[in-house]
């Protein structure tokens, strides 16, 4: 297996739905979004979005700037 080349992976830290998130792209294509709920200095929940329909929606929001940096 050749896997994914690290050079093709980018990570961005954004605000998604008023929560911190890590947006992962592989070769420019949205791969996954990790959103976190935080209370004080503690991450209380971590949600991983990989559903293609939800990623497509988020990708459109990113394109028009609806998701904040």
Separation CA 42–CA 46 (nearest Å): 11
Which segments of 1-69 does DSSP mark as H helices, in order? 52-64
| Helix (H) or strand (E) run with residue 69 in it | none
pLDDT for position 68? 59
Residue 50, beta-bridge partner list:
none
Q: Give me the pLDDT at residue 30, please.
A: 94
Answer for the pair 68, 12: CB distance below 8 angstroms, yes or no: no
Question: Which parts of the chain sit beneath pLDDT 50?
Answer: 1, 69
Residue-level pLDDT at 69: 47
**pLDDT (0 to 100) of residue 2:** 67
With H, G, I as helix, E, B as strand and everything else as coil, classify residue 59.
helix
pLDDT at 17: 85
- What is the reported pTM? 0.82
Q: How many residues does the chain have?
A: 69
């Amino acid at each position: 297996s050749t896997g994914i080349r690290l050079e093709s992976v980018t990570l961005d830290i954004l605000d998604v739905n008023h929560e911190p998130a890590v947006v992962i792209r592989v070769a420019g294509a949205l791969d996954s979004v990790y959103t976190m709920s935080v209370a004080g200095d503690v991450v209380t929940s971590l949600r991983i979005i990989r559903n293609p329909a939800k990623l497509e929606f988020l990708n459109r929001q990113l394109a028009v700037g609806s998701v904040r940096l």
